[in-house]
Amino acid sequence: MDKLVVKGGARLTGRVQISGSKNSALPILAATLLTPETCVIRNVPDLSDIRFMIEIMQRLGAKVTFENGVVTTSAEKIISEVPYDLVRKMRASICFLGPIIARCGQATFSEPGGCSIGDRPIDLHLKGLAELGAPSHNEGGNIYIPKANLVGKEIFLGGKSGSTVLGTDNIMMAATRAKGLTIIESAACEPEVRDLADFLNKMGAKIVGHGTRRLEIEGVDALHGVEHTVIPDRIEAGTFMVSALITQGDVFLAGAEANHLVNVIDRMKSCGAQITSDAKGIQVSAPRKLSSIDLVTETYPGFPTDMQAQLCALMTVTPGISAITEKIYPSRFMHLSELRRMGARVELEGATAILHGVEYLSGAPVMASDLRASAALVLAGLVARGTTEVNRVYHIDRGYEHIDQKLRALGADIERVR
């Protein structure tokens, strides 16, 4: 098992290329099963999650190749059963449910696995599919949808923590083949949902309202093959923003989309960062000591939960007291105990982390608990005195393409050790 060894103290400078969005690519790959024709998806990041997704697609009967960031798919015939040994590794595998139902009219699906960041039920997925005409029952850890007769309907997808991204994706994909008009109220409006809708519309779907809380999908008889380029990964971009700030550096994020990161940029500017952007990317620098901030994670366009751990790492060495409240996954704070091992002063009060900025962190062996927590520990290692060993880096490989190579190119002293 690999680990990342980070020696802190280097100031990061230079240019880093932001990869394609993992959270766009995964549902888009699932959506290629909606057509028997060939699809070509570009700007796909080379991640373990992408490899798992391709493996599932191949087991379902699709022909898939992946080379130099380009995935080519052909799904002339697919099966409707997805076993546990495939889906246990990755929660995003649930987004196969909508396309399989639309294509096969039935599905057998094991509940998926993924990072341990708190309870993430799929009840809204199943509720929406049932309202479309695909009722399910659960037995032995499997979801059974024996027969689907998809008919458009008005569906409310709001939950206790806000909109569901993968739930919106699933219902939207299934609705492309439903009879009549489907309206999704309280739909997720993240850039990744918009990217999937753009892809589906290229395939011949009739979707309007993507990017808003109300989606309208007019069902069509068939979808066809297309080519599509995945949007840049806003969470990777946000993570590299923090890498510049925590090391008092100056980094250009090539290809990053500032309009996908409005809330993140606003919070970082409020703590003293200098950030400019143009069509080519985003420039981030920290010319002076930063100041503490308070923030609350919310559904898009609010501050993303996937950036919470990275901001915690930044605030551990920022003068003052910061309060970071997690409203999406209230138990998503397992990185705090590892940051404490490095000398961070932090208390957890319910779903709020109270961080007292310290003069310095100390390198230590730490254990990654999930994807974004592992990124936070690497960021802390960049500024810590001494050497930090981040174990269980298979988590970080799920969502960051060659993060060690990219950081090293910016001047970081980081090495992957097997």
The radius of gyration of the chain's CA atoms, rounded to the nearest angstrom, is 21
pTM summary value: 0.96
Candidates 4, 2, 7, 3; CA nearest to 387 is 7
Contact at 8 Å (CB) between 304 and 323?
A: no
Name the band, by pLDDT with cuts 50, 70 and 90, for residue 387: very high
Per DSSP, the three-state class of 89 is coil
Average pLDDT, the chain: 94
Residue 119 has pLDDT above 60, yes or no: no
The string over 359-396, giving b where at least 16 C-beta atoms fall within 10 Å of a residue's C-beta and e elsewhere, is eebbbbebbbbbbbbbbbbbbbbbbbeeebbbbbbebb
Cα–Cα separations (whole angstroms), residue 150 to 37, 99, 128, 129, 135 = 22, 12, 11, 8, 10
Name the band, by pLDDT with cuts 50, 70 and 90, for residue 120: low
Residue numbers annotated as active site:
115
CA torsion sign for 285, 288, 289, 290 is negative
Cis preceding linkage at 301, omega within 30: yes
Q: Which residues contact 115 (CB under 8 A, 6 or more apart)?
A: 91, 369, 370, 371, 395, 398
Name the band, by pLDDT with cuts 50, 70 and 90, for residue 139: confident
Domains in the chain with CATH codes: 3-19+232-417 (3.65.10.10), 22-229 (3.65.10.10)
The sheet that has 345-349: what strands, in order across it? 294-296, 321-325, 352-356, 345-349
* pLDDT for residue 212: 96
